[in-house]
Amino acid sequence: MDAGIEFVAVDNPHANKLMIHILAAVAQNEREMIAARTKAALAAAKVRGVKLGAYGSQTLAPANRSAALKAAHDLAPILSDLEARGPSARAMAQELNARRIPPVRGKVWYATTILRVRQRLRASPGLGTPTQATRTQLT
């Protein structure tokens, strides 16, 4: 409004400067009231001992970690075979994409994804052997 440019609202073309100013002030007041209610509710939850974000840190994160380890473990024989041939992580990603082996997330493999899977495998060596069903599915 301070720029000196006329403003026309598509949903209310007959609104004048005063009306738009009042509507903007009401919207700002509503935002402030929502923020105050949210802060009060969070403070009350904290007083009651509610631990916010626990579902993500206590439930989702371990499940995601477990799924990533299983996927890395299932892919280990193929990665070992590719590593034996000596290609780079980029070449390994291209080979997995050519074989149409999907990554856990996303649609294509990248060198970074290969490096992370290999790092995950090195960090968790005692996973055992992949199942026969997994071997036949991935090859």
| pLDDT > 80? residue 93 | yes
- Examine the domain organization and report whether 131 and 86 are in the same domain: yes
Residue owning tokens 């939850």: 45
- Give the Cα separation of 93 and 109 in Å (integer): 5
Q: In this structure, how many other beta carbons lie within 10 angstroms of the beta carbon of residue 72? A: 21
Confidence band for 85, pLDDT divided at 50, 70 and 90:
confident
Domain extent at residue 91: 54-138
Residues 37 and 70 in one domain: no
Query: How sure is the predictor about 1, in pLDDT bands with cuts at 50, 70 and 90?
Result: low
Average pLDDT over the chain, rounded to an integer: 84
Q: Domain check: are 25 and 73 in the same one?
A: no
What is the SS3 assignment for 90? Answer: helix
Tell me: the pLDDT tens digits for 44-57? 999 999 888 878 88
For residues 41 and 3, state if they share a domain: yes
CA 101 to chain centre: 21
